Amino acid sequence: MGRKILFVTTDQQRFDALGCNGNRFCRTPHIDALAKAGINYTRAYNQNTVCMPARSTMLTGQYVRSHGVFANGVALPDDAPSFAQHLKDRAGYKTALIGKAHFEPAFDPLFKFRENIRQRDGDFGPWRGFDYAVHAMHIANFRGTPVGHYGRWLQKNHPDYFDSSPPLLNASPGGETGAPETANNPIARGLYHTDWLADLAVEWLGKLAADDDWCLWLSFPDPHHPWDPPASELNRRDWRDLPLPGGYPGTPEMIRKVLGRKPAHWLAYYEGEFANIEGAPMNFTPQQLSRDNIREINAKVHVMNELIDDAVGRVMRAIRARGWDGDTDVIFTTDHGELQGDFGFVYKGPFHVDALMRLPFVWRPAPNAHVAPAIVGQPVEQVDLASTFCAIAGIEPAEWMQGRVLPTSDDGSRQRALCEWDSQFPGYGFHLRSIYRDGYLLTRYEPSTAGQPNGLEDAWPQFAAPGTRIRYDGMEGELYDLKNDPLQWENLWCDPQHRSLRSDLIADLYDSLPPQRDPRLKVSAPA
């Protein structure tokens, strides 16, 4: 028998969201306890800074260019490998995914993709190696159509709250300060998706036999926007009491100075000359953000994170009640981060900095495994998760898995982490390749391919038309010394004293990337 596995993920959560990682404004005692008893990885990185590619990497244990989901809107093939299927086939695990999946486009009003067809038809499994799968997203509906099983459930049982969230990817003002995509949500806490998913997780665990080996992926949609936790919980954190984040440069002049040291789209985004539609609403520019907007967004994010911590605590109590805690490994992480005021920005996009790439990443091995607690500072990656699940189950990783079992100490076995970005809209054509190594973060901008078709022009021609006049010729990039410049304000790419290091990191980057999937998958939806 292997050990049992609780895999908990969030969506769009920063490394510094947790108390164990230095957060002074958010209480996360249950996750902090897991970190104290286990291994807290302080340099964990994703392989892409948006949802679908990162989540496909977690499922498959493959780098983005191998599984092929290079951007939101690229559907993971139905026959893609799955760590859950491997655990079932090789070790007889009972498996479930409860929460956000997003391996296939969510922008699917015609129900072309299985992930959305399932909620329409009331199908709860099996799917992609999971015996049982229940889907929830950040909102209950998109333009009146239910989203996920959660949206269907809310529409049927509590229709008064079916429209209580602000529209996703619409920056209309809300909340108390007019912050984009923000609301004081009237929904009762027990009906909000975080508690709803915890209820389902406890229910599923309660149906298992005492001697079952199981793997539960509990995937919370928060703290991804819209920023709209239940209004009843907002007394947890008053936005008026929050300082601005350390990564916020301050005045518009300072913001422009910091952004002016970076490639062109950074400052153009702030000025409203670059529409970041691959990571934020079309109708948003950072220049419109007030300081109070940032404070309110961050306060609501803290509340969302505290509700997730409460839910984790509840599921852990259910595991202890079954007598399983000593034999259960818990891994907690997220898909990608959030800018949350850094550089004067919110949301995400083609911005390869720690705010989006560096992950909260905790592994609490089963106490019966007798693994010593540790803080590990060497780099690890999302791609390592699948192989680690296999090690917990006592089986060999599948031959298609490209990651390695996570180290349990700073043993010197890891030197680098890789991250990529490829545009989903053909009118943008950005391609970023990044490497973290030896305390430095380098991003090379490959030549832009704006105007080259990628499939979206066939499926959604109205979304294929927008573009940007910004073009990169392959000479641009970013290089940061994270030890001396943790905020990544000083771009050393053109610094003569770092020219040799830059060349070395670029060579290492391309030597380490796996071959590109050929042919490339097509973009089949906007997101």
d(CA 393, CA 365): 12
CB 56 within 8 A of CB 67: yes
Long-range Cβ pairs for the range 156-163 (8 Å, 24+)? 158/191, 161/186, 161/187, 161/188, 161/191
Q: What is the DSSP letter of 144?
A: T
Query: Confidence band (pLDDT; 50, 70, 90) for 167?
Result: confident
Residue 465's pLDDT is: 87
- Copy the structure tokens of residue 395: 């089986």
Tracing tokens 């771009």 back to the chain, one arrives at: 491
Quick one: average pLDDT of 14-19?
98
Q: What is the pLDDT of residues 465-514, one digit of tens each?
A: 889 999 999 999 999 999 999 999 999 999 999 999 999 999 999 999 99
Query: Confidence band (pLDDT; 50, 70, 90) for 143?
Result: confident
Q: What is the pLDDT of residues 210-262, one digit of tens each?
A: 999 999 999 999 999 999 999 999 999 999 999 999 999 999 999 999 999 99
Residue 1 pLDDT more than 90? Answer: no
The span from the first CA to the last CA of the chain, in angstroms, equals 40
Name which of 165-179, 205-219, 325-339, 478-492 the model is least confident about. Answer: 165-179
- Copy the structure tokens of residue 75: 């559907």
Residue 462's pLDDT is: 87
CB 331 within 8 A of CB 360: no
Residue 110's pLDDT is: 87
CB 154 within 8 A of CB 171: no
CATH architecture of 4-414: 3-Layer(aba) Sandwich (3.40)
CB 96 within 8 A of CB 149: no
Query: Confidence band (pLDDT; 50, 70, 90) for 392?
Result: very high
Q: What is the pLDDT of residues 423-447, one digit of tens each?
A: 999 999 999 999 999 999 999 999 9
State the amino acid at position 88 in one-letter form: K
Q: What is the pLDDT of residues 64-85, one digit of tens each?
A: 999 999 999 999 999 999 999 9
- Copy the structure tokens of residue 99: 């929460």
pTM higher than 0.85 for the full model? yes
* Mean pLDDT (the chain, rounded): 97
Torsion of CA 113, 115, 118, 119, to 10 degrees: -110
d(CA 478, CA 353): 9
Quick one: average pLDDT of 313-331?
98
- Copy the structure tokens of residue 350: 């083609």
Residue 116's pLDDT is: 93
Residue 26 pLDDT more than 80? Answer: yes
Strand (E) positions, 232-366?
328-334, 358-359, 362-364
CB 382 within 8 A of CB 57: yes
Residue 209 pLDDT more than 80? Answer: yes
- Copy the structure tokens of residue 239: 């936005």
Residue 128 pLDDT more than 80? Answer: yes
d(CA 175, CA 241): 16
Tracing tokens 């190594």 back to the chain, one arrives at: 437
CB 67 within 8 A of CB 80: yes
Enumerate the β-bridge partners of residue 442. Answer: 435, 479
Residue 519's pLDDT is: 95
State the amino acid at position 298 in one-letter form: N
Quick one: average pLDDT of 85-102?
98
d(CA 308, CA 317): 14
Domain range list for the chain: 4-414
CA 298 to chain centroid: 17
Query: Confidence band (pLDDT; 50, 70, 90) for 168?
Result: confident
Element (H, E) at 220: strand 214-223
d(CA 374, CA 365): 11
Q: Which residue has the higher pLDDT, 77 or 107?
A: 77
**Percent residues over pLDDT 70 in the chain:** 100
d(CA 431, CA 474): 9
Quick one: average pLDDT of 116-129?
95
Strand (E) positions, 232-353?
328-334
